Each structure stands twice: as structure tokens, then as C-alpha cells.
Structure 1
């Protein structure tokens, strides 16, 4: 009577213990399940969120590739589900034969009765006959297709607003959507990623139309040649691209301080050099000195005592000289003198023009290209011409040049050019110049580079960092814009970089440079600048939010008509070279 318990009793006790233990624990389903679900006739409430499901009952007659793009990129989260069911072609052909017979009979009756044939019936018959022929040949297959859309919202008011916006988008695409009245629960389940098609609202669709429906809303930027820019954050593919295959090779890089602009530019420069593309950088902060020296490039540093000199009056001495070369040079010098002197009155501008012509004339230089072999004048020669006129206005102009001829800046811009670009990687450093001299130096360097580019045509990329120094002055900004427009002819790509995004986009010259740049890269942005960027680049709300929350080296990559979110990547060796 007091022996061991039977085996059956032991098993029963273990099961009871397991049940008691299970009642005191929380399962994974309990953890992820909402606290309540409230189902109404035209919406669904789960916790504090509202949902409404639409199903599509009407489609356009013809569709193009990616025709659902407007819906997929809608400026609000949407849950979109597509259900595709293959069907037997024989059954479809039998049903189509019956439908064609009905439509032909309807048209024949209308003709016999003297009535006008319904154009809708006639069009439907034509489409059905064409599709019947394709199905019979095996060129097409038939499918049943269901399209459901669930709209999430934080309130009923927002749900109504977003629903109207979605209806408008659908209407613009010639799509007819209906609310899943009294079937909201089934509709919501149908848009979960669980393949629960509870609505079963289908439309017959041929394979060509179905192929056009797939949501390829982000174009691949993986090409067979080019350099690696980063990873496409939409599909994980590599962005490998050759900027010289675009309409022009110009690029613009916009981003707030600390967003990764310099790192990306250094990375691109090092990779371009491996593709036999020369790289020239105008560097206001000497950020590129280390990588330049590490890669065996030439760092040209401008200071008052620098060994490097550039004469802004230099004329090209190569064979490809345009007939109006001197006139164009004088126009460029007009813009430079306005950067140096400030605003000029019309009479001062006319005086400057006469003085520039006279300055070249005194050196024996005229419109004939053969005269360009004579030594070019210097800034001090223009200064002397002003003094020689012996008028108060000319004297005032001379006084404005005094600093650059006799003063603290005399050793920088008042000498004959004494070097050539021989290295494939050259950086012009202007950090040690006064703040107000940097735009002058950048302008003169640009002009010098322009002469070099035209003399020896080969693939080059010119990088202008902190381009705001030039853009903030109308004349130098116009010159940079002109540079961007003319660069393609000489196999040059201009890269314009700025962190003063809002000010840059507020100028006509800044916007024009963006328009003339086929490659546009937008990195992390401040809240102050993101609205203007959204207007300029027609960004969606999601893309705008992405730029605000992006990490270092993350942003949007625009190439021609395609754009994707991307992340800059570098190898450990590249990081060691750059950082």
C-alpha cells in the first residue's frame, strides 16, 4: 500500500506541473500581440493606431514600366500587397472565346437596329482579340492579380486626410480603389506579409502587364565600369559608376559639417587616380594635404612667401586658341577685378575695360594669337596704367589695387607663373591666406587650371571645396558656373562642394551649377537647410527625413534620372590613407 508510485501517476504529476508552470509564463505571441483590436465598418483600430484597407477594382487600359511608382513612393507609409495566381491558358481561352462572342453579338445587334456601336464595347473587343491571339501563340500567359493597400494613421482625422490623398493618387493613375467596407479585418490581414488573401478581389492580367507592375522604384547604379561610390541602401547592391558616361561629368556634394563630405571626396579622388583620371583640388583648409603627399601628388601652397606664383594675366600659348581669346580674357579679368576691388560704377567699369586693353597693348599683345608669345603683363602693369591716367577716378582704382601690388598680398598675385601641372594629383592649398583673399586666390587658380585643361585635353576632375567662397560673390559665382558649362568639352568634371547649403541654393549661380551637374550627392543635412533641398531636388517626405537622420557618410546619390539612398564604404587600407 505504501510502495512506489506507479509510472502513470508520475507522468500525470509532471504534466500538471508543466501546465501550472506554463500558466505563469508569457509566450512570444503574448509579447508582440496588441492590447486590443477594435473593428469598425470602415477602419480598424489596433492599440492607438488606425488602419483602412482599399482594394483595387479598376485598372488603366495600358500600363508602362513601374507604373505603380507614384503609389510606392507616396509621402506616407502604406502597406501594399500584390497577389499573383497563375491560371490555365485553356480555361482562359475558353472564357475569352465566350466573351468575344457576346461582344460581337452586341455590336451586330446595334448595327442591325441602326444604333451607334458603343465605343467601349468596340475597344474591349479589339483588346480581347489581340490578347486571344497572343495567348494562342503562347507569347502571353494569364494570371489573376489582386492589389490591396492599407493606410496607417495616428488619428481618425489623419486617416481621412491620407485616404483622400491616396484616392487622388490612384485617380491620377486611372486606378479605381474601393474601401473594404465591413471587411476591414480581412483587408488588414491581406496586407500582412503572411500571404493571407482574405479579400480575394482579383483581376485577369497578362504576363506583360504583370511584369510592368513589379515595384522597381529604385534603379540599379551598378555599372560594368567606373569607381565604387558606396552601397545602395535600398537593395544592398554596389554603386559602381563612371561619371564621364553622363551628360556631363560635373558633380555637386552638399552636406552639413561632419557629414562625411571630405572623406567621400578623398575616397573618390584616390579611386579616380587608379582609373587614370587626373585630380586637381582647390583646398581652402588644407584638408587634402595628407592624402596628396601620401599618394605622391604635388601640394601647391599659396602664402605671401610661397615659391609658387600664378599670373592672372596669363594667356594660353597652345595651338587651340579661339579667335576672341583676348576679349574673353579681358572679360574674365573684369570679374576678377570686381572680386578684388568690390563693386564698380558703370564709369569705373568702362575705365577698367580701357585700362585692361591698354595694359596688354603696352606688352605688344593684341587680338592676333601670334602676339600671345610675348610676356604677359602683371597686376602692377595695370596699376601703372591707372596711375598714368592722372584722374581722380583712375587714382581711386589704383588705390584699390595697392594691397595686391605693394602691400601684404603683393608676393602672391603679382609675379609671372613659375610652375606647371605635372603630377596626376595636385592640390592648391590656400588656408594660410587672409579670409578676404581666398575668393581671389580661388578665382585665379580656376583661371590657371582652365588654361591647362584646354592645352592638354584628357580626363580630369577638378574639386572645388567650400565653393561658397566663390558663389557668395556674383562675378566669381558666374565664373564658376561658366566653368561648369564649358568643362565637358575638355573632358573635365567639376566637383563643387559646400556645407553652406541654404546660402548656396539661395543664389541663382548656385542653383545653375546644380542644374549643370549630372551627378549630385546629398549627405546629412541640418533642419534649416533640408526644406530648401527638398524643394530643389523634389524629395519625398521619407527622403527628407532620411537626410535629417542620416549617419556620417550616408545620403542620397543622384545620377542622371536615377537616385538612391547610399552609404559610403572604404577598405581599411583606404581609411589609413585618408584619415
Structure 2
């Protein structure tokens, strides 16, 4: 059994002797009494080897020994190219060398099955009082099927615990905080994020191992009234270490800890990957204790000296027997060579020695279930010429060596060099699993669901890039639908130059605005609201937009003259002044033209004359009051039929309408999602390109998430604005790419050769997702026999079928089942 000290929380300040406070304290005392009554037995609690777990995350493991823990994020080690792997490996080896013999490092890699009910509770699409619940149900059904199949129900977490010797808690805190800063820096250099754990989080992790499936309801203040220690809240109902010589029970679970007994000199770094691919609750713990370099050197020299004496004895025996003295036993010759090589490495290659213990803990509901998991662990070892063995009569010590206290209680270890210890590098492949995120598919490496929340990124602006048929429109539509089905307060605005998004608008009850020379739908470019300005006078910003539009229409190669800019600026201000002061109808381009004609300068009349085709003539589609539902939560701007003469102007006006919505939505607390298909069309005109770039740059501050979509990556990247936009986008979906496009993107986004492979000849819907620092190879094979698929499909037959079926349904006709 292990002993431990009791913990006490800090005394709370006296806040008076009111009746309410007395009642509260009485309630807490009653709860403390109940907690004492329900606590596991003292013997069960004493089986947990640590002494105290403090609220700040400091753990007193044993007298004079303290530890802290950090959670580390995974990185794409297994799909990195050899040079990058070598760089990560070297940095990890340096990390190990940074510990002295007074420290211990413990690496924990945890596989946990997802609680599917809890997962669906967090990520499912909740019903709302609208007509979209059938689509939400279908999305939930697809998501549930995915999480229940393959490895998608596994969560993989990684932690580092490190210990220091200290005379008291305060000294331990100082030295461990210093060590923690070094650990965080080391992992940052490897591309991983290290996040320190507080006491509650460390207890929650222990609770998840000791009482799987339970939720830890605990507050450190509880200890004051219960008189208990933290052991009481995480201990299972019972331990039975006599269940069998090599396994034990804890509560209703059967568990077993194995150790890695034998492995070859050239072990693969994929052992951990293969172990974590096992579909079971597993916990890997690697205990690493540095050996003092001077002692290590003496130890190797002593062993070498012993083997040299053995060699001399063997040679004497051979001479007496009349044999050749140079013929020695092969294992002795090999051991001497190894010792010589090791001394050389320690002297010249910064190699140190470590005592390493590699443990794997598995648990199940029954012995039979546990047998199956243990066999899978041993089989994974055999694939790498490794042998996992039982720890007979050492299961209590082994359990505590797996739990994240930071101490090894198993009297079994193997002495390894730095590079040999570093082969157990904990990295495999990055995961992306935001609990508040949308589902984008399945991780091709780990087979876990990929869920991402662009709202949490520093800059959630995004691009979706892929050659024709790669699945970019489908991916865009899936995100649009998911956004609206998840968040009723979000708005989706789409610029559609190829008429691909009508089915999405119809499915979501949105508005399709056809913009063309002869269309009955009109958008007024003079439309303004009080929020239009960037927290400043909206007229100034709107006037700047009108100037840009007039410059595009009338400026020619040299742009508008200073006189013309002055006149247009004045006319705009006067027009809006009448609107705001006299509360007249929203001004239009006709009103601007009339104001220009009223100016004393003849040049004003000349400007009005040159604008006449866009105000009264054949191109006057934008000279009317807005007559469409521009306030719908889903708006598709169909610009397919915009003629050559109106395309640039039309794109600019649509962008300005979108900016109007963004500013309005921010003050209403709404998020605006913007999608621009064939975005290279916007960038072909200088004015539209600059306006789009400004909108893109300002979007985050205004609660907007713009997304550019294109198949013409080479053309897109000819624009300096586009390159800057891509560089500043933290969300990029890369689907199958043409060779030239792929080369440019690989260089620009710093992709490895292996990562580039995921966008080379990729199936439709397969590729790479970049979200912040994460680079995830994903696949999105969406079920075809669903309504959602027909809405999102870009195949004309699917789109037409969906629209016609919806129209038939709205007209009261019967619709046959799928």
C-alpha cells in the first residue's frame, strides 16, 4: 500500500454571519458528511500512490518529489518527409537531453472511445422552429453513422509529466514552472502546442482511467467540509489486485498492464502508431529517467572492462586447447563492438543514457474482452519484432506507473541512449476535432472525424481550391448548409457566376437574385445604412465606394481627374444630406445624376451625361431602388448573365451590398458567411479586386467569414491581392490539383512531399485541410442516396431533380420516396 498526506483547501474569507451564509455552510457540511459516507474505502484510496494533488496542477508524488503535466498536440510526423521527420526527431532528442538525473519524464498516450451520445449532444444539429428539421435529422444520421464506424469513435490524447526533487512545495513550484517553460518551448519548436494542466484537469484524467464513463463532479472547496483528500473523488469503488497474477479489477472493469520486454536494435518509430490504431481503451506510458552522464560513462566503461577480461579469459582457454585465440564467441565480439560504439557516441555525439520502461494498460468489461485487446497489443508488437510481456504480481505498481503522477514504480527498465529512447516519439498524425465545429469528413490517416470551427481561428477567412470535378462546389455547399442548419443567427451570402447554388437557396428558404441587363431584380448601389462606416461617418465610406465605381466606369487609363473626383464627392454628400435630413426615399444613381446636373460647374453636367447609359440607357439595371428580399438569411447573387459591359460594375455593387449586410449584422450580433465562386473573376478588374481585398482584410473585425472558391488556381495566383489573401487565410481546403497549380501551392503553403501526395490524382472530395497550424489529409465520401446529396451535387441531373421535386411538393403534388 502507498501512503499519502491529506490536502486542505485555503480557508475562505469570512463574509459575515448572515442567515443565508449559515444555511449555505450547513448545506456544505451536510454534503461533506454525505461525501465521507460515499467515499471508497481507505485501502482503495491508499492504492493511489501520489500524496497530494494541488489546485495549481502541482502534484506531490512522494516526500521531496513533485510533478507537473502538460497536454501536447499531435503533429503530422508520420506523413512528413524524411528531412522534416529527422528534424522533429532531433528536436525531441534534444528535449530528452534537457533533463538531468534529478528529473523523470513520463509520456502518456491515451486512446479513449468517444461517448457517442455525448459526442452527438455536442455536435448534432438541434431542431428549430423552421422547415429545415428534416435536413437536420438527415445530417445527424450521417454523422452518427460515421462516428460509429471504423476508428472515428476514438479520441487520442497525449501528455508529458515531469518531476523534480525539492525540499518543499514552494521550491518545487519555482523549479517546475521553469522546467515547464522549457518543455513548452521545446514542443513549440517541434510544431506542437503544450498546454499546462491544473489540478482539476489532472484529476479528471486520472478519473477517466480509474472510473471510465463517469463524470468527475468536484471542487477543491469540497475538501474543507468533507475532510477528505482528492484520492476519494477519483478512486474506483474497489481494487482487487488478486484477481489474477497479471491483471486486476477496478470497480466493474478488468485491467492489465504489459511491459515492452524485448525489441530489436533498429525498432520502427511506427510502433506507437500501430498501438493507437487498436479500437480499444488503451493507455501507453513511457517512463524515462536520465542517468547522470558521469555515472553513465563509468557504467559503460565498467561493462566494457568486464567484457575485455572475459575476452582475455576466452583467448587463454583457446590457446590452451590449441585453438586460434582470435576466434571468439560471436555475441561477445558484438557486445564489445557495441560498447566501443556507445562510448564513442557518448563522447562525440551528445548521446546520454536513460532508464526506460514502456508500459501499455488495457481494460475491458470482462476477462474475455480484455484477452482480445491484449492479443491485439501483442500482435502489434510482433509486427515490429517486439515482445510485450506480463507483469506478474506487479499490477498495482504498474497501474501507478501508468497514471500521470510522474514516477515509475515498476522495477523493470532498459538502458537506452538518447536516440534509442527518442525512437518512442509520441507523435503520429494531427487531429482536428473542435467540439463546436462543423464536420468536413474523415481524417485519412487516423480515420477520425474532422470537425473544425472557423470562428475560433485567428483569421477564419478561407479558400477552397481544386481542379474541375475535384469536389470544391460540393464542399462549399456542405459548409453553407451546415452553417445554416447549426446556427439560425448566421447569414450566408453567395456570389454565383455559374448558377450552381440555386438548389441550396431553395432548400434553405433563401433568395436567388438574378442580376443581368434585362432582369426585373434590381439592386441599388446608393443604398446606405448608419452602420456602413467603420465606426465613422457612413457617408464618407459610401462616397469612397461611389468614387471607385465612377472611376471604373469613366476613369479610363488615367483615372478620374481631380476636378471630377471633387464634383462626384460633393454630389454624393449633398445627395445623402437630403436623405438623412429630409428622410426622403433611399437615393439612387438617378438622384446622384440630378445633383451633378445642378452643380454650377459645366463638368458636373458632362459627368451626368457620360453616366447616362448606366442611369437611363440600356445599362440602367443598377439605377433603381432595390426590389428584392435583400434581408433573407440566405442570398444567392446570380451574376451568370451579367454582360461584359456590366460584369465589373455588377461584381463591385454586389460586394458593396454584402458589405452593407456585414455591417448591419455585426450590430445585431450575427455572423456573416460569404462565398465567392470563381473568385478569380473578381480579381480581373482592378477596382473590384481592391474592394474585395479590403473587404477580405476587414472581415474578421466585423464578424464575417469570407471564402473564395476557384478551379483556376494558376490564374488566381497571378494576382498579388490573391496571394496576400491566401497567405492570410487560416482555413484552406485543397482538393485535387493540376500539376502547375500543385507546384505553386506546395511552395507557397510549405507542404511536404507526403502532404502534396494527398492533392495529387485525388478522388473527388479528398484532399488536405489547413486550419490554423493543423494540416489534415481528409476524405469526404458523402452518401449519395440522401436529399442532402442531391442539394449539394453539381451534377445537372441531381440539381434539376431536386428543384423540380421541391416545386412539385410546394404545388401540393405527391413526391415519391427516395
Give the aligned partner of residue 275 of structure 1: 486
CA–CA separation in structure 1 for the residues paired with 2:707 and 2:432: 19
Deviates more, 1:372-381 or 1:499-508: 372-381
Partner residue of 2:613 out of 390, 403, 408: 403
Post-superposition offset of 1:461: 0.6
Flag the structure with more relative contact order, 1 or 2, with Cα contacts below 8 A and sequence separation at least 6.
1
Contact 2:543/2:573, CA 8 A, preserved across alignment:
no
Give the TM-score normalised by structure 1: 0.64
For 1:274-353, list aligned pairs within 5 A: 274-276=485-487, 277-317=490-530, 322-341=535-554, 343-345=556-558, 348-353=560-565
Partner residue of 1:354 out of 544, 561, 566: 566
| Superimposed CA distance per residue, residues 125-152 of structure 1 (whole angstroms, 9 cap, x where no aligned partner) | 9x99xx8xxxxxxxxx6259xxxxxxxx
For 1:447-486, list aligned pairs within 5 A: 447-457=656-666, 458-486=670-698
Contact 2:491/2:673, CA 8 A, preserved across alignment:
yes
CA–CA separation in structure 2 for the residues paired with 1:268 and 1:578: 10
Give the aligned partner of residue 229 of structure 1: 440
Give the aligned partner of residue 432 of structure 1: 641
Contact 1:231/1:238, CA 8 A, preserved across alignment:
yes
Post-superposition offset of 1:474: 2.2
Partner residue of 2:717 out of 502, 505, 514: 505
Partner residue of 2:426 out of 214, 219, 237: 214
Give the aligned partner of residue 385 of structure 2: 195
Give the aligned partner of residue 40 of structure 1: none
Structure 1 pair 328–349 and aligned structure 2 pair: CA distance change class (3 A): farther
Q: How many residues get paired?
A: 432
Tell me whether 1:577 sits opposite 2:791 in the alignment. Answer: yes
Structure 1 pair 310–84 and aligned structure 2 pair: CA distance change class (3 A): closer
Post-superposition offset of 1:238: 1.0
Give the aligned partner of residue 81 of structure 1: 268
Deviates more, 1:239-248 or 1:315-324: 315-324
Post-superposition offset of 1:375: 4.0
Structure 1 pair 211–387 and aligned structure 2 pair: CA distance change class (3 A): farther
Contact 2:683/2:722, CA 8 A, preserved across alignment:
yes
CA–CA separation in structure 2 for the residues paired with 1:271 and 1:215: 32
> Match of 1:513, SS?
helix
Q: Which runs of 5+ in 1 are unaligned?
A: 1-53, 71-78, 104-119, 132-140, 145-191
Post-superposition offset of 1:508: 1.6
| Superimposed CA distance per residue, residues 188-236 of structure 1 (whole angstroms, 9 cap, x where no aligned partner) | xxxx954289xxx9834599x75982233x3211121221111111211
> Match of 2:512, SS?
strand
Post-superposition offset of 1:390: 9.5
> Match of 2:760, SS?
helix
Deviates more, 1:315-324 or 1:542-551: 315-324
CA–CA separation in structure 1 for the residues paired with 2:454 and 2:286: 48
Structure 1 pair 330–318 and aligned structure 2 pair: CA distance change class (3 A): closer
Post-superposition offset of 1:270: 0.9
CA–CA separation in structure 2 for the residues paired with 1:402 and 1:371: 27
Deviates more, 1:480-489 or 1:539-548: 539-548
Structure 1 pair 228–214 and aligned structure 2 pair: CA distance change class (3 A): same
CA–CA separation in structure 2 for the residues paired with 1:514 and 1:253: 10
Structure 1 pair 318–194 and aligned structure 2 pair: CA distance change class (3 A): closer
Contact 1:68/1:215, CA 8 A, preserved across alignment:
no
Structure 1 pair 327–318 and aligned structure 2 pair: CA distance change class (3 A): closer
| Superimposed CA distance per residue, residues 90-124 of structure 1 (whole angstroms, 9 cap, x where no aligned partner) | 9x899989448899xxxxxxxxxxxxxxxx99xx9
CA–CA separation in structure 1 for the residues paired with 2:439 and 2:286: 46
Structure 1 pair 82–533 and aligned structure 2 pair: CA distance change class (3 A): closer
Contact 1:298/1:426, CA 8 A, preserved across alignment:
yes
Contact 1:66/1:214, CA 8 A, preserved across alignment:
no
